[in-house]
Amino acid sequence: MTQTVSTSTRPASAGRYYRLFAVILLASTLLSTWLGIAVVMAARAQRWRATAGGGGSGDGPLGLPPISEVGRMLNPIEWLNPAPAWPVPGRLNLLVLGVDRRPEEKEIPVRSDGIMLIGLDPISNTISVLSIPRDLYVPIPGLEERGISQSRINTACFYGDYYRLGGCGELAKQTVAYNFGVPVHRYIILDFNGFKRIIDLVGGIDVDVPRTIVDNAYPTDDYRTERLVIPAGRIHMDGDLALKYVRTRHADSDFGRLKRQQQVLMALRAKVLSLQALPQIPEILRTLGDSVQTDLTIPEMLAIAQFARGVPEERIRLLTVEPSMVRSWQTPNGAAVLIPNRQALAMLIEAFNWER
C-alpha cells in the first residue's frame, strides 16, 4: 500500500509558519556511523588512487576505486590504524537537531524543528534516545544580558547563530545540558534534504503505521498545503514519505510526532543493519554535502559506528517528554509554550541514564 496525497486549493493561512511545523528525525547514531565510514573511505580512496594499485585515478564511479576495493575498505580491522578512540570517558551524549533550511537559506539562522538527545554507553552496552518537544519553555544560556530570560528550546539554534554564541549546535548543546542536567558532548545538524537522501540511498524503510493518518493541511515547499493520507499497516517509505510521516502533526499532536520520529529511527537502524554491502556510501558522501553539520571528528564517528552496530534492540531505550511532564501556557506575547515539571524531567533523565 502507498500514501494518497492530494493538493489543497487553498494557500497555507500562516505562510512560512506552517513550514516550521516540520520536525526532522536525523538518523542519529546511524547517521554519524554512515558519515564516519563514508568520510574515512573517501580519504582511503584518495590514498588508493595515489598508489600503483590505483594507477593514479579511480576506476569506479566518482573517481573512487572499484567495488571490490570498496568492500575491503569497509573492514575496519584491516585498515584502521590506530583503532578509533571513544570520544569521552564513559557515556557519550550526542545532540541531534533537524532543521528546515533550503539551499538558498544557508546563511539565515533557523530554529531546530526536531531535537533528540542520544546517549551511548559502551560500559553498559546501552543506547538511549530522548525526544524533546520544541515548544519546551526554558532558560537559554547567554541570553539574559540581551533581555531574554526564557524562550522555546528550539530557538537556541537560532540565537546561537544570530548572536554568534558559538553557533546553532553549540548553544543548543549548552541549553539541553543546562535544562536536563546532563553533559552534552557533541551535536549533529541535518536538514530535510539530507534526511530524504539517507532514506532513499538505503532503498527506503518499512514502517508499521498503527493508524491511518489524515492531514488536510500538510505544508508544502511552495507555502501551500495539501491533503496527506498514510494508511495504517506496514508501509514501505521512500525519503519523501518518511519525511511527511515524521513532520505531520495535525493527525495527533507534537507528542505523537515525537514517537513517529523514534519509530522511523528504529526502522532506519533495522534497514542499515540488514545490508550486507554498502555500495551507496560514496553516493552518501557526495550528496549529503552541506546538509550535515557536526562537531564529531572522523575517529569519533568510527568509534560510534563500531559501538552502535553491536547494541541489541533490547538495550535501546526510547523516551519522550510526555504530556504529563509539562503544562501548557501562553506567554505575554501570545506564544503557546510548554512549561516543564522539573521533578518529572529529573526522573526522565534517570531513565535516560539507565539508573531506573
Tell me: the pLDDT tens digits for 59-86? 443 343 343 333 333 343 333 444 457 8
- Confidence (pLDDT) at 131: 92
Alpha-helical segments (H) within 74-205: 76-79, 155-162, 168-180, 192-201
Domain positions in the chain are 4-352
**Confidence grade of residue 283 (pLDDT, cut at 50, 70, 90):** low
Per cent of the chain over pLDDT 90 is 42
245-278 pLDDT per residue, tens: 988 877 666 788 888 988 998 898 888 777 753 4
> Predicted confidence band at 284 (pLDDT cuts at 50, 70, 90)?
low
* Pairwise CA distance, residues 140 & 42, whole Å: 38
> Could you say which architecture CATH assigns to the domain 4-352?
3-Layer(aba) Sandwich (3.40)
Model confidence pLDDT, tens digit, residues 127-162? 999 999 999 999 999 999 899 989 999 999 999 999
pLDDT score at 49: 44
Exposed / middle / buried, residue 276 (Cβ in 10 Å: 0-12, 13-18, 19+): exposed
Q: What is the pLDDT at residue 104?
A: 60
- Residue pair 298/305 in contact (Cβ under 8 Å)? The answer is no
